[in-house]
Structures are given as structure tokens and as C-alpha cells.
Amino acid sequence: MAKFMIAPSILSADFSRLAEEIAAITEAGADWVHVDVMDGHFVPNLTIGAPVVKSLKPVSKLPLDCHLMIEEPEKYIEDFAKAGASTITIHVEATRDAAAVLKKIRSLGSKPGLTLKPATPASAIFPYLPLVDLVLVMTVNPGFSGQSFMAEQATKIAEIRAELKRIEHTALIEVDGGITPETARQVQDADVLVAGNAVFKAGVDYREAIRRLKDAKTESLT
Ligand code: DX5
Ligand code: ZN
């Protein structure tokens, strides 16, 4: 049976030892490294930018999955692409021309991803689905790690999956926010789980934490 892919969010890691933390999650079976970029405008928090991605690129064997929670991402995507971002995910609410930004991400050699806040309906991203390799469904209000999972957001996964099927387009669906081995059971139709606290602050070693998340996929999907 297929298992979830796991993208630990380094927002919950020890920032003074990021290279070691990435080596540890890699060894423990993580699939991607999730990098949460916040600008203090689009969300009420500040985190890290492209220079950190550039520093992590040579020390990470895993793809760097960059989630841009920033206004006007068009101003920064070239920096992230050059820094080595494998995937660059933008918020549909953050730009006036999502199609242009997604096309630019692809032209720069990164994979385009699109996400939406909990208050935004799934239909808001439908016009852009043909342009993306990844759809990120937020199950918390973006801005902070360690928040509670918003269960009602899980219905968006099926809506997006159905629309992808209707337009005959393949893209991975990733879920972000409040994921634990328990809440992960409610997002069976997703492919990739972002997990901050459930990996770095789980109270068990990273291998066990990641195994529990991967194993939360119990339904066999066709
Ligand atoms: C929230 C971020 C998430 C967050 C996940 O704005 O996008 O990636 O760090 O953290 P947990 O898994 O602890 O909710
Ligand atoms: Zn994120």
C-alpha cells in the first residue's frame, strides 16, 4: 500500500544546527525538506529567506520544498530558484497574476506549487491547476507552527483531486498545518504531509516520528 511522503518543516527544527537537523531527518526517512518563508506582511511572522535556502542546498540530499508566505512573490522567486529551491509554492491570495508567477517559476527551473489560506475556497485555485506540479492545502492559518489542525479543510483535498482528474492533470497534493499521526488519518487523499512539531517535537526519535506519519495512510487509493 502507498504511504504518505513526509516533508518535515524546519520551522520547528533547531535553527542553530540546521545542517545536522536536515541530515538527521534525511537519515530518518524524510522525503522533502519543507522551508517556511514568511515576510511579516502576508502573515504576522518573519522567518527565513533565499540566503538560507542557498546555504542549505549543498548540505541537503533531499529536495527543498519552499512555501512562500509572502506578498508579491514575483519579486523573490528568481532568488529562490537560483538558491536551489526544488519547489516554489506561492499563495493565490498574495499576487495579482498567479499564472504569470507560476510560469516564471517553471521557466527558472523549479517546480511551481500553489496554495491557499483556509478562508479561500478551493475553486479560487482551479484556473491555475494546469500550471502546477504541487497543490498545498493549508489546514491552519499560515504564520506559525504548532497550531491545531482544521478538520473541515480536509474536504478541499477531494475537491482539488476531482478537479485535477476532470482536467486530466497530474499534480501532487500536500497538506500543511497541525499534522499528527491522528490528524493525518483524515487526509487520506493527500500525497505529501508537512509536519513541524510532529517530527521535531514529537518526543520520539525522528525515524519513529516519520514512520508513524507515513503509516497513517491506511486507505489504498487508485
Ligand atoms: C504554517 C507553516 C507550516 C508549519 C507546520 O504557517 O506553513 O509548515 O510550520 O507546523 P506544524 O506541523 O507544527 O503545524
Ligand atoms: Zn508550510
From ligand 2's centre to the CA of 106, what distance in Å?
Answer: 20
**Nearest ligand 1 atom, CA 38:** 6
The tens digit of pLDDT for each residue in 99-147 reads 999 999 999 999 999 999 999 999 999 999 999 999 999 999 999 999 9
* C-alpha 22 to ligand 2 mean position (Å): 16
- Tell which one of 33, 116, 145, 147 to mutate to probe ligand 1, the residue whose CB is within 8 A of the most ligand atoms: 145
Ligand 1 geometric centre to CA of 9 (Å): 7
Which residue in 31, 39, 133, 176 is the catalytic one?
176
pLDDT class of 151 with cuts at 50, 70, 90:
very high
Our answer to whether residue 31 is catalytic in this structure is no
The tens digit of pLDDT for each residue in 35-54 reads 999 999 999 999 999 999 99
131-142: pLDDT as tens digits: 999 999 999 999
CA 175–ligand 1 middle distance (angstroms): 10
The confidence score (pLDDT) of residue 124 equals 98
Name the nearest CA neighbour of 196 among 53, 71, 21.
21
Q: Ligand 1: does its nearest atom lie under 6 Å from the Cβ of 181?
A: no
Beta carbon of 213 within 6 Å of any ligand 1 atom: no
Catalytic annotation present for 97:
no
* pLDDT at 222 > cutoff 60: no
Q: What is the mean pLDDT of residues 80-101?
A: 98
Name the nearest CA neighbour of 132 among 91, 102, 109. Answer: 102
Geometric angle at alpha carbon 151, from 137 and 193, rounded to 5°: 45
Quote the cell numbers at residue 168: 486530466
Q: What's the pLDDT tens digit per position in 178-198?
A: 999 999 999 999 999 999 999
Q: Is the CB of 95 under 6 A from ligand 1?
A: no
Position 221 pLDDT exceeds 70? no
Rounded distance between C-alpha atoms, residue 113 and residue 97, angstroms: 14
- Nearest CA residue ID for atom 1, ligand 1: 142
Residues in the chain: 222
Helix axes 206-214, 18-27, angle to 10 degrees: 50
Q: How confident is the model at residue 23 (pLDDT cuts 50, 70, 90)?
A: very high
Tell me the pLDDT tens digit for each residue of 50-79: 999 999 999 999 999 999 999 999 999 999
Helix (H) or strand (E) holding 89: strand 87-91
What is the pTM (predicted TM-score) of this model? Answer: 0.98
Ligand 2 being an ion, which residues bring their Cβ within 5 A of it?
Answer: 36, 67, 176
pLDDT at 219: 81
**What number is the average pLDDT over the span 82-108?**
98
